[in-house]
């Protein structure tokens, strides 16, 4: 999904979005923060430039802490977005909120040092202890 034109929505449909540009990154996150926000043992994300994301209808409510902003629907509670000060002009979308999530192929696993012990990963994707950006990966410059 390099030139995505992806669309998605929250569970109740009051928040809809459209991605108009190319995908910057897609992958799995194992961090505690994502687990608690999503309620899932692992999350999958699609990263895009902030200017390439458009919302229709309502915009997500934002929970902000320590330079991280997580977007969610205030009506149905769907977790939708992740943005952080350390990655300016960049936003990630939960793959599960996409209308066609099968079009996204994760590229790697991040924050593996926080992975729940019982989760077994059987793919051959690269694994990063922290963020992929922490491993001198140029994913933000693609």
User: Using H for helix, E for strand and C for coil, what is the string for 44-64?
Assistant: EEEEEEHHHEEEEECCCEEEE
**What is the extent of the structural domain holding 127?**
7-141
User: Is residue 19 domain-resident?
Assistant: yes
CATH code for the domain in which residue 58 is found? 2.170.150.70
CA 43 to chain centre: 8
46, two tokens: 């699609």
71-111 residue pLDDT tens: 999 999 999 999 999 999 999 999 999 999 999 999 999 99
- E strands, the chain, where? 7-9, 15-19, 23-29, 43-49, 53-57, 61-65, 68-72, 79-84, 90-94, 108-110
Over its length of 142 residues, how does the chain's per-residue pLDDT go in tens digits? 555 689 999 999 999 999 999 999 999 999 999 999 999 999 999 999 999 999 998 999 999 999 999 999 999 999 999 999 999 999 999 999 999 999 999 999 999 999 999 999 999 999 999 876 654 444 444 4
Q: How far apart are CA 16 and CA 42, in angstroms?
A: 23
Residue listed under structure tokens 């929970």: 63
User: Is residue 1 domain-resident?
Assistant: no
Number of separate domains in the chain: 1
Q: How far apart are CA 110 and CA 101, in angstroms?
A: 19
User: Is residue 12 domain-resident?
Assistant: yes
Cβ neighbors of 81 (< 8 A, separation 6 or more) are 60, 69, 70, 71, 91, 92, 93, 94
Please give the model's pTM, rounded to 2 decimal places. Answer: 0.87
Please measure the distance between the N-terminal and C-terminal CA atoms of the chain and give it in whole angstroms: 14
User: Is residue 2 domain-resident?
Assistant: no
């Amino acid at each position: 999904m390099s030139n995505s034109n992806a669309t998605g929505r929250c569970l109740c449909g009051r928040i809809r979005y459209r991605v108009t540009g190319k995908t910057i990154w897609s992958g799995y996150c194992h961090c505690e923060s994502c687990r608690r926000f999503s309620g899932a043992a692992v999350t999958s994300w699609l990263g895009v430039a902030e200017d390439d994301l458009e919302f229709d209808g309502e915009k997500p409510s934002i929970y902000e802490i320590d330079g991280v902003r997580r977007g969610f629907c205030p009506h149905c509670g769907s977790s939708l977005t992740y943005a952080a000060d350390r990655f300016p002009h960049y936003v990630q979308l939960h793959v599960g909120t996409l209308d066609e999530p099968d079009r996204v192929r994760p590229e790697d696993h991040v924050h593996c040092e926080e992975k729940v012990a019982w989760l077994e990963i059987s793919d051959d994707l690269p694994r990063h202890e922290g963020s992929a950006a922490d491993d001198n990966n140029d994913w933000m410059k693609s």
